[in-house]
Structure 1
Amino acid sequence: MSENSAAPIKKALSRNVMLPAQDMALLGQTSQPILTHADGIYVYADDGRRLIDGPAGMWCAQVGYGRREIVDAIAHQAMVLPYASPWYMATSPAARLAARIAELTPGDLNRIFFTTGGSTAVDSALRFSEFYNNVQGRPQKKRIIVRYDGYHGSTALAAACTGRTGNWPNFDIADERISFLSSPNPRHAGNRTQEAFLDDLVQEFEDRIEALGPDTIAAFLAEPVLASGGVIIPPKGYHARFKAICEAHDILYISDEVVTAFGRCGEWFASESVFDVVPDIITFAKGVTSGYVPLGGMAISEKVLERVSGDKAGGSYFTNGYTYTNQPVACAAALANIELMEREDVVVRARAMAPYFAQALASLRDLPGVAETRSVGLMGCVQCLLDPTRADGNADDKAFTLEIDNRCFELGLIVRPLGDLCVLSPPLIITREQIDDMVAIMRRAISEVGAAHGLHARVPAAV
């Protein structure tokens, strides 16, 4: 029997697999679509259907599927040396990858620590903020400031910093160390200009620091774009102004680039090139291997490290690590991925393709039920509301959008369902023609589902 035979796979899913978003009332009663193989920007279901991978897996399939260069690098390293203890041994792939990433990071973020993925990268960065202040004799400086709508992972501390409140029920994630600021969602500006909205967000940050006491705050943790919170792009100048406040109060600025790095926003790292900020720490994962194997990490500023190393170390050890830190197969995959991206100018192509992607999404604004489209680089979304004048959707809007997502799947497009958003972040190798195909499917799905809900066409909006 083939390893892709549907019956035994569905049986195993029903009896043995716990899903990442498991509806416990339906445990063992539901099934997911089964994928059998992939090529380029397409994945194939067990019924033979070809689907455009609109979310690039989970924001990560930068160079697409079936890339022999990465597969060969994985196989070669697995045969030569599949594992080495990161505590006692070094390997060439980890050393070469760290050097390569240091060339790509902004500023002096030259020291690289590898983890197993995005959650552990964020967790390690936050643990470093604890270590950093303890070594300097500031044990009270431990609070972490984050934002509503932010997403930072599934480990206990990273989850506690996640401002997607829908993730909170039935988990004990409340932590007095964590303080949440307002989401920088421009749709929440109301009658304010974007400049006034930004001023209010900055004032809120300053007020929060004063209320908590700057001597108690270790770090500000922020995604350049709040990805899983809804592809929320903060007002222009947001990150630079927040970084200046952090510097004034000796607060570490941690940029969570798990989604935005490695070309997703048209740059190797988005912090400086897109959002005008050089962080103290950057976390990364996903696109570093284009999803072929798990790998994450953080890059730390030399200026920051100077305060807790050498004659300022005080006999300390940064005792944070994982069995698969510096994992040689994963590092070899990342090296091959970066080399491929450079050889094919993938990041440059993504940057050049971004305006066309934005325009294509914006062409959907004339449809009833489409409240907004927004994008940066090759990550974007279509917000679908039964009443497009609202800033945020309700339960009916989420059900409406899920119908659209399901119809897209039937028509040959995977769209990431995210509340009232249809999220798209395709492989960076996507062509104009493939973007047209993707948007044509979305147009048909939105039109059909909108018509079923009695929505009527309106005058097209200017693009």
Structure 2
Amino acid sequence: MSDTPGAQWNAGDTEADAKSHLLSPSEEMAKLGQSMRPLIAYGEGIHVVDAHGRRIIDGPAGMWCTQIGYGRKEIADAVSAQALKLSYNSPWYTTNSPSAELARRIAEVTPGDLNRVFFTTGGSTAVDSALRFTEFYNNVLGRPEKKHIIVRREGYHGSTSLTAACSGRSFNWQNFDIASPRITFISSPNIRQAPGLSEAQFLDQLVREFEDTIAKIGSDKVAAFLAEPLLASGGVIIPPKGYHARIKAVCEEHDIIYISDEVVTAFGRCGEWFASEKVFGVVPDIITFAKGVTSGYVPLGGFAVSERLIAKVSGENAKGSYYSNGYTYSSHPVSCAAALANMDVIEKDGILEHVRDVAVHFAEGLRSLKGLPHVADIRVEGLVGCVECLVDPSSPEVTDRDKKLGGRIDTHCFDLGLLVRPLGNICVLSPPLIITKAEIDQMIGILRQGILKAAADLKEPVAA
């Protein structure tokens, strides 16, 4: 059986296997084995094709990751060639050439002096490893009490125990024991939660809260501040202009490591290799990445760390220490070869420049939906945006009816040929970076129809 275009395969068998044996992420357990998510046969460009042969625009780019689109032969060839040449080596006592080359290539495009790169298996392990580096760093420096992590509500950082505990989305906590006494949450930088304040006033309020939080915990106990440049899974929340630079200045004052979680925003999503400096105005101490580094073709993640930090715990300052954190698949040669090919495509095709060009059109298209029924807010940066919908757009609270409205929009869009990532009442679009202006128009047009159809549905009785 093959899932390639034009091949014959039995969708019924696949569906039966999935219902009987597959446990998927975020599975609604009451419906386990009774239904399944749409079955995708293959991908091509910005489209996926389902088991019935329907071409569907991949609005979320997989999961914020299929930067260069589906079916790129360059990636498949690189993966095949490397698998035949060297499929695996143990990173604990050997090194492979693709990982060394990729580390150099990434260091060439990171901001500041973030020139040392550690590879992991994905976004969760990238952030987990970065946080573990802060533990290692402070222990080597003889500061065992400096371990507290400050994060934000509505942020998302992963699915390991530590990164899940750092994620401020309450949905992810249900029925899991992940709370940690050394993690403190501060406010989301979502100005919709601060009615009556100007952006400048809201920014001052956020910075004061951060400073007060540090004072309450004690700066000698705070190790790191962990933040996405924009809160992606939290609803594409874009902080006030200057937010990151102001927070970084406070971190520097108190010797707190600033970690920029660019698992979503790196590798072109905002028109730059990394968004921290050029888009959001901050040079962090550590940057995490994953997703777009291979355009989702194979798993890979990692972090880049400042030479300034490395110098304090290496060489004569090492004190006999080992950074012993690692994974069986750290620096995997096939994954690193895929990432190198991905970077080649991004450079050869001028994709970063393309994103900067079409992002204006994308933003204008999303904002054209502002006057539709139930549209409460539009948020967009680069090629990631969202439409927040509420049954009553003037209401500050999100209800179950609002979430059902979001579900209806998602269903209508899928039927019309567009995958939307529904985050409750929020419709997220972050398409493959190769999308054209004409395809953006088509995507926005379908979303418009989906919202209008869902609005018409609301004229019928809706269960509370």
Task: Please say whether Structure 1 and Structure 2 have the same fold, judged by a TM-score greater than 0.5.
Answer: yes
Shift of 1:454: 2.7
Which residue pairs with 1:459 in the alignment? none
Distance 2:407 2:433 in 1: 25
Which residue pairs with 2:125 in the alignment? 120
Distance 1:186 1:358 in 2: 19
Which residue pairs with 2:80 in the alignment? 75
Describe the superposition over 1:58-86 as per-residue Cα deviations: whole angstroms up to 9, x where unpaired.
00000001111111000000000010010
SS in 1 for 2:99: helix
Which residue pairs with 1:351 in the alignment? 356
Structure 1 length-normalised TM: 0.97
Distance 1:227 1:12 in 2: 32
The yes-or-no answer on 1:223 pairing with 2:228 is: yes
The yes-or-no answer on 1:417 pairing with 2:417 is: no
Which residue pairs with 2:259 in the alignment? 254
For 1:66, the aligned partner's letter is G
Describe how 1:37-116 pairs up with structure 2 within 5 A: 37-116=42-121
The yes-or-no answer on 1:157 pairing with 2:162 is: yes
The yes-or-no answer on 1:178 pairing with 2:159 is: no
Which residue pairs with 2:197 in the alignment? 192
Describe how 1:61-460 pairs up with structure 2 within 5 A: 61-454=66-459
Distance 2:131 2:151 in 1: 12
Q: Let me know the Cα RMSD of the aligned residues.
A: 1.0
Shift of 1:429: 0.3
Consecutive unaligned residues of structure 1, counting only runs of 5 or more, are: 456-463
Shift of 1:318: 0.3
Return 182-191 or 107-116, whichever deviates more: 182-191
Consecutive unaligned residues of structure 2, counting only runs of 5 or more, are: 4-8
Distance 2:249 2:103 in 1: 28
SS in 2 for 1:365: coil
Describe the superposition over 1:161-185 as per-residue Cα deviations: whole angstroms up to 9, x where unpaired.
0000111111001100000001101
Describe the superposition over 1:408-439 as per-residue Cα deviations: whole angstroms up to 9, x where unpaired.
00000000010110000000000010000001
Which residue pairs with 1:458 in the alignment? none
The yes-or-no answer on 1:20 pairing with 2:3 is: no
Distance 1:124 1:351 in 2: 31
SS in 2 for 1:364: coil
Distance 2:176 2:270 in 1: 32
SS in 2 for 1:61: coil
Cα distance, 1:85–1:222 mapped onto 2, change above 3 Å:
same
Return 315-324 or 27-36, whichever deviates more: 27-36
Distance 2:173 2:232 in 1: 18
Distance 2:184 2:379 in 1: 28
Describe the superposition over 1:310-349 as per-residue Cα deviations: whole angstroms up to 9, x where unpaired.
1111000000110000100000000000001000010111
Shift of 1:23: 1.0
For 1:84, the aligned partner's letter is N
Distance 1:22 1:450 in 2: 28
Shift of 1:88: 1.0
Return 316-325 or 381-390, whichever deviates more: 381-390
Shift of 1:24: 1.3
For 1:370, the aligned partner's letter is V
Describe the superposition over 1:371-427 as per-residue Cα deviations: whole angstroms up to 9, x where unpaired.
111100000001111111124421110101110001100000000010110000000
Distance 1:188 1:223 in 2: 18
SS in 1 for 2:43: strand
SS in 1 for 2:445: helix
Aligned residues: 455
Which residue pairs with 1:34 in the alignment? 39
For 1:243, the aligned partner's letter is K
Distance 1:274 1:388 in 2: 30
Shift of 1:2: 5.9
Shift of 1:189: 1.9
Moved beyond 4 Å, runs of 4+:
none
For 1:98, the aligned partner's letter is A
For 1:86, the aligned partner's letter is P
Return 240-249 or 184-193, whichever deviates more: 184-193
For 2:38, the aligned partner's letter is P
Distance 2:254 2:397 in 1: 34
Shift of 1:137: 0.3
Describe the superposition over 1:274-327 as per-residue Cα deviations: whole angstroms up to 9, x where unpaired.
111000000000000000000000000000111111111100000011000010
SS in 2 for 1:22: coil
Distance 2:368 2:359 in 1: 14
Distance 2:365 2:66 in 1: 21
Structure 2 length-normalised TM: 0.97
Distance 2:433 2:145 in 1: 44
Distance 2:219 2:371 in 1: 48
For 2:150, the aligned partner's letter is I
